[in-house]
Amino acid sequence: MIEQSLFYEPQSVPNYDIRHDQRDYIKLLSQSEERSDLELRQMMDRKDDYVRRQLITDIGERLYVHLSTTTFDLKEGKLFGRGMDEPFIDVVKRGRDERRRIGYLTGVTADFQREDAEAVGFEKIEDILKRGKMALSISPPGISYLHSFYDIFWHNEEGKIESRRYTSGLEVSEYAPKTKLIDPNSNFGFNSRDYEFLANPLVVSDFFKTPDQVHAFLHIDHSAMTKEEFMTITSDEGLSLAIDKYIEELKTNPFATEALIRRYNAILNRADYLRKLRNGESVEHNVSNLENIDSWGDKEPEQAAGGCGISGSAWSVADYGMRDTKGKLVFDCPSCGMINIRPYGTLLQVCKVCGSDKVACREAA
């Protein structure tokens, strides 16, 4: 019944896969008799926040912005994620090995070379950082990895090591002439493969002082946006209302696929309207009026240039290393909502923040 209700005609499938959200809310709503009203409301609030963050990330991919920042510690030449007790290269290699295991079981082996390249490239990034340099790792789309982005690792103004992830609007052929100016020793061609980029991170020239300068240079011919400009767009009242209406539709009728697609289209159309206003382009005035919000999604959104990702698609092989047979290593406490990080292969008995014994990874009695 659910599968049939969530079926899309091929031409109607958006880049952001609404079916993930539908299934999550259907599952939540099915627990209404098993949980207290307070517990269900807290779970629903956390899911609402998660979907809102996913939608903001999706818009960020569309507008080519700085998506996220991760801070690392460098210990004895190895990068450690904050709060983690193992080198991050171990996470990458564990994810690679898990993908290899799944690939042999399913017969899907097309990305094996890419996944090997990620591990090779990450070790080179560590070497670049040990020399006090900035590293650029480019990740074009692959077979299973559909996002187009790059990570820039650097020693920030506070002396901490950061990785900044930017979504990319560049085709593979556009990287070649630009990467040569960023790193004269790079040797990418117009037809370089995704695994070649990942296995060979660039040593960024000292001419570039910050990751944002590298991002601006790579996107000099594209309509890239700074994080501050993007925050102005995401704080727009109309965009926030469009996102709220999408989430409300999920909560009231998660089976209404066509209505949800229209709500999602409304989000993209409003984001495009705000982008065009910023760039001084002509705009669709229908999307400017909040009173018309229910009709914003009637128009099919413009096709985004470049390689836009698919929600639900992995960003990196490391994503698969952040799990073990017991579940995710990083998770929210069901009681306080704060993030917990547990060691690989080990369960937590209580939340590290509030002490609740309702942490998601506690073994059932």
The chain-wide mean pLDDT, for the chain, equals 82
Contact between 198 and 117 (Cβ < 8 Å): yes
Indicate if 220 and 261 belong to the same structural domain. no
Indicate if 107 and 148 belong to the same structural domain. yes
| pLDDT over 50 at 79, yes or no | yes
pLDDT score at 14? 45
Indicate if 214 and 186 belong to the same structural domain. yes
Tokens 């999920």 -> residue: 250
The residues with which 149 forms a beta bridge, in sequence order, are: 139, 167
pLDDT score at 317? 56
Residue where a domain stops, chosen among 205, 224, 243: 224
307: nearest Cα among 132, 116, 166, 163: 166
Q: Is 70 exposed, middle or buried (0-12, 13-18, 19+ CB in 10 A)?
A: middle
Domain of residue 341 covers 322-365
Backbone angles phi, psi at 339, to 5 degrees: -75, 135
pLDDT score at 280? 81
What is the spatial distance between Cα 89 and Cα 112, in angstroms, rounded to a whole number? 17
pLDDT score at 205? 97
Residue 279 belongs to some domain of the structure: yes
pLDDT in tens, 252-307: 999 999 999 999 999 999 999 998 888 788 877 678 889 999 999 998 888 664 44
Indicate if 98 and 152 belong to the same structural domain. yes
Six token digits for residue 350: 């209580």
The lowest-confidence range among 57-71, 102-116, 191-205 is 57-71
What is the spatial distance between Cα 104 and Cα 108, in angstroms, rounded to a whole number? 7
Tokens 């090995």 -> residue: 97
Q: 3-state SS of 324-365?
A: ECCEECEEECCCCCCEEECCCCCCCCCCCCCCCCCCCCCCCC
Residue 7 belongs to some domain of the structure: yes
Percent of all residues in the chain with a pLDDT value above 70, rounded to a whole number: 79
Q: Where are the extended beta strands (E) located within the chain?
A: 66-75, 78-81, 134-139, 149-155, 161-167, 202-204, 323-324, 327-328, 330-332, 339-341
pLDDT score at 228? 80
Six token digits for residue 341: 């990080």
Instruction: Give me the amino acid identity at 271.
Output: A
| pLDDT over 80 at 249, yes or no | yes
pLDDT in tens, 101-139: 878 887 878 888 999 999 999 999 999 999 999 999 999
